Amino acid sequence: MRLKSSVARILPLLAIAPIACDAQIREPRLPPPSIVEYQPRSTLVVPEHRVPRAKFPAVDFHGHPPNLSSPETVAEVVAAMDRLNLQVMVQARPSSGQRLISQIEGVRAAGHEDRFVFFASLDLRNVGPGSGARIAAQLEEDVRAGAVGIGEIGKGFGLSTRKADGSRLEMDDPELDVVWETAGRLGIPVFVHTGDPPEFFEPLDYENERWLEMAIFPNRRFNDRSRFPAFDDLMAERERMIAKHPNTTWVLAHMGWHTQDLGRLGEIFDRYPNVLGEVGAVLYDLGRQPRFGRDFFEKYQDRILFGKDSFRPDEYPYYWRVFETADEYFDYYRDYHAFWKLYGMDLSDEVLRKLYYGNALRIVPRMPTAGFPGG
Stretch that binds Zn ion, among 34-42, 115-123, 147-155, 340-348 (CB under 5 A): 147-155
- Cβ closer to Zn ion: 256 or 344? 256
Decide whether 239 or 309 has the Cβ nearer to Zn ion.
309
Alpha carbon distance 102, 95 (integer Å): 10
Task: Considering only the stretches 43-51, 149-157, 175-183, 337-345, report the one whose residues sit in contact with Zn ion under the rule CB under 5 A.
Answer: 149-157
| Shortest spacing between CB 67 and Zn ion, in angstroms | 15
Shortest Å distance, C-beta 312 to Zn ion: 13
Q: Where are the alpha helices (DSSP H) in 207-342?
A: 211-216, 231-243, 262-271, 283-286, 290-299, 316-324
User: What is the separation, in whole angstroms, between the first and last Cα of the chain?
Assistant: 53
**Of 82-90, 106-114, 144-152, 183-191: span binding Zn ion (CB under 5 A):** 144-152
Over 108-158, what HEC string results?
A: HHCCCCCCEEEEECCCCCCECCCHHHHHHHHHHHHHHHCCCCEEEECCHHH
Minimum distance from CB of 103 to Zn ion (Å)?
16
Q: Based on CB atoms, which residue is closest to Zn ion, 278 or 324?
A: 278
Site membership for Zn ion, residue 278 (CB under 5 A): no
Kindly state the number of chain residues that form the binding site for Zn ion, as judged by CB under 5 A. 2
Q: How far is the CB of 9 from Zn ion (least distance, A)?
A: 32
According to CB under 5 A, which one of 152, 196, 199, 327 is a site residue for Zn ion? Answer: 152
In angstroms, give the least distance from the CB of 154 to Zn ion: 7
Using the rule CB under 5 A, give the single segment among 42-50, 96-104, 152-160, 235-243 that binds Zn ion.
152-160
d(CA 266, CA 160): 27
Looking only at the bridges linking them, the beta strands covering 309-310 and 86-95 are unpaired
CA nearest 139: which of 154, 158, 118?
118
CB hemisphere CA count around 291 (13 angstroms): 0
**Looking at beta carbons only, is 283 or 347 nearer to Zn ion?**
283
Comparing CA positions, the residue from 222, 220, 275 lying closest to residue 250 is: 275
CB of 309 to Zn ion, least distance (A): 5
The string of DSSP letters for 30-61 reads: SPPPPTTT--PPP---------SS-SS-EEEE
Q: By CB under 5 A, name the binding residues for Zn ion.
A: 152, 309
